[in-house]
Structure 1
């Protein structure tokens, strides 16, 4: 047995062919994270991680000022993150996978929700458009410049 947590995440997106805007319509994650002691907190942690993964995939970008070396948008007024309107119905499920080396059977759950979320969104964009995006964020201008959506 392994004491690491694992997960698989899947996203469904809609891509506006005129503007290049990507909207996540649905996200699903299934995780093997040991014995879940508190299901409500575990679900909140997993859903929150996936929401931040959507933000990373579509909005967040660290851009440096070449002259000063500082960051543009170094505060929440200028740094774009997902809002409630950007986050779809997110489903988080888990399989029972107790850690035999832990007396309670628990494993770490803190970050596993975000790990595959951006990749799931990028794969859904590829499925919708036929264009593979290997850089984040997947902004509308990048979708249009890449030639896509191919419908």
Structure 2
């Protein structure tokens, strides 16, 4: 028996708390109604992407997330759009981003620093292996998964 494909939309999700804001919109915690699985939903305003000339970068980000299966790159569950917004539904990384970790801990030990630098290099290398360039490398764009490894959240990507 073949599975029927269902075109996903914002109505398939229960929108929960806002967990981040960016230049084009926000990221919300959401729960898929059919499965109760929890994700992070990035909601990007199309008019703002056009105004800032970032359409190709956002397209590259979406393509990278859709094409790449790597422990170092956040997983894309689905993407869809309506007249006003583009939505990227990604795995939720409950460990928070590196900036939050740095602010909370103030100082990292040498071992912690070495670990996170190595994880950052592996994440960037994983993006580069797929001929993409991460154009916005900063602590806010790297998150900790529940398994303590660092995961890149590609932003402002370009194909090399």
Bigger Cα Rg: 1
- Asked whether the two chains share a fold, i.e. TM above 0.5, the reply is no
TM-score (norm. length: structure 2): 0.25
Going by fraction, where is strand more abundant, 1 or 2? Answer: 2
TM-score (norm. length: structure 1): 0.26
